Structure 1
Amino acid sequence: MKKVMLKTTLSLAVTFASSQLFAAGFALNEQSISGMGTGFAGRSSSAEDASTVYGNPAGMSRIKREQVSFGAAAIIAKTDLKQTGGNSTGTNDGDMVPFVGVPMGYYVKPIDDHWAFGFGMYAPFGLVTDYESGFAGRFSSDKSHVQVVTLQPTVSYAFNDRVSIGFGPTINHIKGELTSSLTGAGPFPEGRVKIKGDDTAVGFNAGLLVQATDSTRVGLTYHSKVKYKLEGDTRVNFPLGAALGTGTGGKFDASLSIDTPEIVDLSVTHELNDDWTLYAGSTFTRWSRLKSIIVENEGGGAFANIAEEQNWHDTWAHAIGAAYKLNKQWTLRTGLSVDQSPTNNTDRSTRIPTGDRVAISFGAGWSPTDDITIDVAYSYLKEEEVSVNRTNTGNRTYQANYKNSAHGIGSSLTYRF
């Protein structure tokens, strides 16, 4: 019975790893629309608007006027899903990611020639997936809704015109809900599992920005790990359990301890001339922290402590991009990025059916006045085809091939006081 719980619920943390959003694992990239236009190349070195609070806190030293920036990105995902084997029956529509919005907002105020203050609100991790009710793999996953919202007060200090640093503690709130099915037999209908939980934890972002030459900047940003202990409840409705003498389920206090990974971003911005700016960057994410998942259900009896191996590995993402200043009002952007998936062929599940990905991006910035800039961006992402092979209690097996793609659109407004 423990395996039933494990395969159908996993945990609140792992369930949001199956997102077709624009970063590997369950990380989100959508914290900046101007950055989205260049495929997030130069994220820690560009410092073009207040979104540098996330991209590199040290970049606030380049913001010379008080400003506020807010916007949102939307994800339209598609999955080509083909069941290749197993004895689980049902549908395989594959459209499990609904229309998803990712909001963001930032404020930066220069204090003097050295100090600046900023504040950010953004989503570093998250997922919404919702398979159809008759999904053949419903015993592994059905519906998941998890979000992380971060608040980040930030300061930066410029030693001189060349070198600046920045630091901001992050206050992170995670909450989630997921459902899945339990195997029925004979006259007994399928059961249902629902998990809810949340937690608030603290981390930090720190950055270094160096103006290496008059035309080249180098940025380094470190996003710390965050240690969560989600507290909530597990609700189980399992009619077959009564016949097996294992109980019909019930409501149990649930907890899960998990760390979100460290992320290090190194990038370069080079102003080729008055019109062209080039960007390049690499991002390292320490996904190897996610070796296994342990969920504890207090008083759960047959639905007590559970564990599953994940064996995720560290990943690298690389991006290049360019911006062309068409005139005083318009700037055009483009970028190309590649991103590794942390999953492996042995442990990949229907909740995490992702593979290595490539994305191409386009964007534009329009400044009708010196006080206002409107940024828009579009990205298209395509993943390699990956396979899933899962077995649940009751010998319900599900084998399938997933091929994921997604369109991303975003818009933001920056106002300078």
Structure 2
Amino acid sequence: MFRNNHSGRFGFSTLALGLSLITGDACAGGILVYEAGQEGNGLANAGSAALATDPSVLMSNPAGITQLSGTQISANAQVILGDLGFSRDSGNQFDGNEGGNALQYLPGASFFISHQIDDRSAIGFGMYGNFGLALDYDDDWAGRYFNQEAAIIGISFQPTLAHKFTDDLSIGIGPRIMYGYYRNETAINNNLLGLRDSPDGQLEYKDTDVGVGVNFGLLYRLSERTQIGLAYTSKIDLEFKDKPDVRKVDNPIINAALRRLNVDSLELDMSVPQTVVVSVAHDLDPQWKLLGSLGWQDWSEFGNIGVEVDANAADVSRSADRKYKDTWHASVGAQYQATSKLRWSMGVGYDTSAVDDKDRTVDNPMGEAWRLATGINYQVDEGLDIHAAYTLVWLGDMEVEQTKARSGDSLSGTYRNSALHIIGGGANWRF
């Protein structure tokens, strides 16, 4: 745990104690991750609601499992490698280092199964994590009074039922049960009136919750060569309620603010956003399949979160509006059947940013994102396929200027050449 003798600039009138419900993700439109280790990793989400090659389709469109014969099992693993480093500029007013790489790696896994009941109906189940990431800055970095560590992880469990109502139309639905974990750690500046040099205090907050939503999808065959999919996921409400662990705070102004905040019981509410995606898959010829997707994510529902405390304010605010806005996704891709056993996937995608540049924060330094993806699927035998894929999520330069509410002191800099590298693979068994 960080215990440091730095005494950053901190005036008489200020305390800003940030408890932001964040994730550290800078990809997708907000913090939804399209990649969960499945073969579709290599397509940048292109065709996700229209392409049914294995049971993982129930995650993006539950109706797709009607196209899978017999019983199929898909097991996958992946790792997200980050390059997310902050660089100060001349406008920065806080001491400390630059924080290092805030997102070094994050492993993940997923499991899916589908079973064909008869020629019309199918059931399935999925366990996957496609929401949330984590940040871990150096304890003594310049932005430690905004955030040091944060993580929010959502693991979804989804039983699914799908039925083919006509030869061309399938509909699927599945309740989505999400187990959410949230943790935040922030340094507290004990320096009073700038007249003494005191070690930082510490605040840690963590909790878990379970929320429920629903995934719904339609899959329609326009012709022998073309099908379209429409998928909807409802929002999932998570409520974190716990007593923050506050340690080594000896500043009376801060302690007064904490008493007014009533930190014995602090609630943070979050809504995992609802989403809509429409996809198309078209067989150009026996070897080439063309794919595309257009999606929307309701991130404006996620934005009124967190806590800010001002030591000399008349009131204590329990929320910090992150000013999130809805995002859009577009992607195109293709699959090439190189041989009877080998299939090659490729895709490119783009997501708008859930925040304007002026509203970006170090606890969630996200922006617009470009995806470049490729992957292969190899049929080992009639009952077994293996696959591997790589996705580059390019975020570029993301400027940040975040100011403490009462002091007016600013943390200013840029995340330069930011990127995520997502490597995944797995196997699909057919019985």
Superposition TM-score, scaled by structure 2 size: 0.89
Amino acid at match of 2:394: K
Following TM superposition, by how much is the alpha carbon of 1:244 offset from its aligned partner in structure 2, in angstroms?
Answer: 6.6
Following TM superposition, by how much is the alpha carbon of 1:296 offset from its aligned partner in structure 2, in angstroms?
Answer: 10
Q: Is residue 273 from structure 1 mapped to residue 278 from structure 2 by the alignment?
A: no
Q: Which residue of 2 aligns with 1:342?
A: 354
Match of 1:217 among 218, 223, 227: 227
Following TM superposition, by how much is the alpha carbon of 1:38 offset from its aligned partner in structure 2, in angstroms?
Answer: 1.1
Following TM superposition, by how much is the alpha carbon of 1:406 offset from its aligned partner in structure 2, in angstroms?
Answer: 1.6
Q: Counterpart of 1:53 in 2: which secondary structure?
A: helix
Q: Which residue of 2 aligns with 1:58?
A: 63
CA distance in 2, matches of 1:247, 1:293: 19
Following TM superposition, by how much is the alpha carbon of 1:294 offset from its aligned partner in structure 2, in angstroms?
Answer: 5.0
Match of 1:356 among 346, 358, 368: 368
Q: Which residue of 2 aligns with 1:101?
A: 107
Following TM superposition, by how much is the alpha carbon of 1:304 offset from its aligned partner in structure 2, in angstroms?
Answer: 6.3
Q: Is contact 1:78–1:94 with CA below 8 Å preserved after alignment?
A: no
Q: Is contact 1:58–1:164 with CA below 8 Å preserved after alignment?
A: yes
Q: Is contact 1:237–1:248 with CA below 8 Å preserved after alignment?
A: no
Q: Which residue of 1 aligns with 2:430?
A: 416
Amino acid at match of 2:341: Q
CA distance in 2, matches of 1:51, 1:264: 18
Following TM superposition, by how much is the alpha carbon of 1:309 offset from its aligned partner in structure 2, in angstroms?
Answer: 1.6
CA distance in 1, matches of 2:322, 2:140: 26
Q: Which residue of 2 aligns with 1:405?
A: 419
Amino acid at match of 1:258: M
CA distance in 1, matches of 2:99, 2:245: 27
Q: Counterpart of 1:150 in 2: which secondary structure?
A: strand
CA distance in 2, matches of 1:283, 1:135: 37
Summarize the alignment of residues 113-192 of structure 1 with structure 2, pairs less than 5 Å apart: 113-185=119-191, 186-192=196-202
Q: Which residue of 1 aligns with 2:328?
A: 316
Q: Counterpart of 2:108 in 1: which secondary structure?
A: strand
Match of 2:394 among 382, 406, 411: 382
Following TM superposition, by how much is the alpha carbon of 1:290 offset from its aligned partner in structure 2, in angstroms?
Answer: 2.8
Gaps of 5+ in 1: none
Following TM superposition, by how much is the alpha carbon of 1:198 offset from its aligned partner in structure 2, in angstroms?
Answer: 1.5
- Root-mean-square deviation (CA, aligned residues, Å) is 2.4
Deviations 1:342-366 (A, max 9, x none): 0112321101212111111110001
Q: Is residue 35 from structure 1 mapped to residue 40 from structure 2 by the alignment?
A: yes
Following TM superposition, by how much is the alpha carbon of 1:306 offset from its aligned partner in structure 2, in angstroms?
Answer: 1.8
Q: Is contact 2:36–2:76 with CA below 8 Å preserved after alignment?
A: no
Following TM superposition, by how much is the alpha carbon of 1:191 offset from its aligned partner in structure 2, in angstroms?
Answer: 1.1
Q: Is contact 2:29–2:328 with CA below 8 Å preserved after alignment?
A: no
CA distance in 1, matches of 2:101, 2:255: 37
Deviations 1:306-348 (A, max 9, x none): 2212221111111110111111111011100111110112321
Q: Which residue of 2 aligns with 1:373?
A: 385
Number of aligned positions between the proteins: 408
Amino acid at match of 2:410: T
Q: Structure 1 pair 142/245, CA: closer, same or farther in 2 (3 Å)?
A: closer
Following TM superposition, by how much is the alpha carbon of 1:71 offset from its aligned partner in structure 2, in angstroms?
Answer: 0.5
Deviates more, 1:212-221 or 1:227-236: 227-236
Q: Counterpart of 1:59 in 2: which secondary structure?
A: helix
CA distance in 2, matches of 1:112, 1:221: 23
Q: Structure 1 pair 183/330, CA: closer, same or farther in 2 (3 Å)?
A: same
Deviates more, 1:366-375 or 1:338-347: 338-347
Match of 2:339 among 291, 306, 327: 327
Q: Is contact 1:230–1:256 with CA below 8 Å preserved after alignment?
A: yes
Following TM superposition, by how much is the alpha carbon of 1:42 offset from its aligned partner in structure 2, in angstroms?
Answer: 0.3
CA distance in 2, matches of 1:290, 1:19: 14
Superposition TM-score, scaled by structure 1 size: 0.92
Q: Counterpart of 1:188 in 2: which secondary structure?
A: coil
Match of 2:249 among 239, 258, 269: 239
